Amino acid sequence: MCRCEKIARLRRRAVLVVTLALAVLGACSTPLPDPQSAGAQIYQVRCSGCHAPYAPASLTAAMWEMQVERMQTVMVRAAVNPLTEQERFLVLTYLKAHATDATSASAPAASVALVVLP
């Protein structure tokens, strides 16, 4: 097995581990924090179309960045429109503000007004 195959195999395992961890730890059975924020509303609408939204506090801010990026690719493969730049910004701002490692100073950033998207 060449080095490239080993790296690809390790990446697939990492994605599987993250996906399983999210499934076990993150399924959101309680209401989302700050549900009236634009980020929460977009997160709820866009992500719940395929799966239950995960609790924002189930991952760190860096993990949310990786997960949202990964889901963009998954959405393209599934022929679903990926998040726009504005949606991605609002969702990531919201998720990072409520992530496991969020500080109280970052919480107000998720409370931007709802923007009507065309």
Q: DSSP labels for 65-115?
A: HHHHHHHHHHHHHTT-PPPPHHHHHHHHHHHHHTSTT--GGGGGGG-PPP-
Predicted confidence at residue 34, as pLDDT, reads: 94
At residue 104 the predicted structure's pLDDT band, cuts being 50, 70 and 90, is: low
pTM above 0.75, yes or no: no
Q: Residue 78: which pLDDT band, with cuts at 50, 70 and 90? A: very high
How does pLDDT run across 9-44, given as a tens digit for each residue?
Answer: 777 777 766 665 555 555 545 789 999 999 999 999
